[in-house]
């Protein structure tokens, strides 16, 4: 059944998100967090209804995470060639 695979994937995503939200102190703000599946068998992670402040905090956490990832990516790009290597 294709929907089982989609739901299982969504469940793993929802569980991972719940763990991170709990680590950030937001576990109780996302009580409606759950896995679901579309009629086509695609997995979905549903946040459920949340308070505006929880949404703002989630947005801030996402921006911080993306900024850290971009900085890490830039560091790796800078380390790909020796410092005195000629530019390509």
Q: Which residue has the tokens 């380390």?
A: 79
Count other Cβ atoms within 10 Å, centred on residue 83.
6
pLDDT score for 80: 52
Across the chain, which has 88 residues, the per-10-residue mean pLDDT values are: 88 97 94 95 96 95 94 79 51
> How far is 59 from 70, CA to CA, in rounded Å?
16
The answer to whether 30 and 21 are in contact (CB under 8 A) is yes
The answer to whether 10 and 44 are in contact (CB under 8 A) is yes
In sequence order, the 6+-apart residues with CB closer than 8 A to the CB of 29 are 21, 50, 51, 53, 54, 57
pLDDT score for 88: 46
User: For the chain, which residues make up each domain, given as ranges?
Assistant: 7-69
pLDDT score for 78: 73
């Amino acid at each position: 059944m294709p929907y089982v695979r989609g739901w299982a994937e969504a469940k793993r995503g929802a569980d991972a998100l719940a763990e991170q939200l709990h680590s950030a102190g937001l576990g109780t703000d996302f009580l409606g967090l759950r896995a679901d599946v579309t009629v086509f068998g695609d997995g979905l992670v549903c946040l459920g209804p949340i308070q505006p402040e929880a949404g703002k905090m989630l947005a801030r956490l996402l921006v911080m995470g993306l900024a850290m990832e971009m900085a890490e990516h830039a560091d790796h790009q800078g380390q790909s060639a020796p410092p005195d290597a000629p530019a390509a």
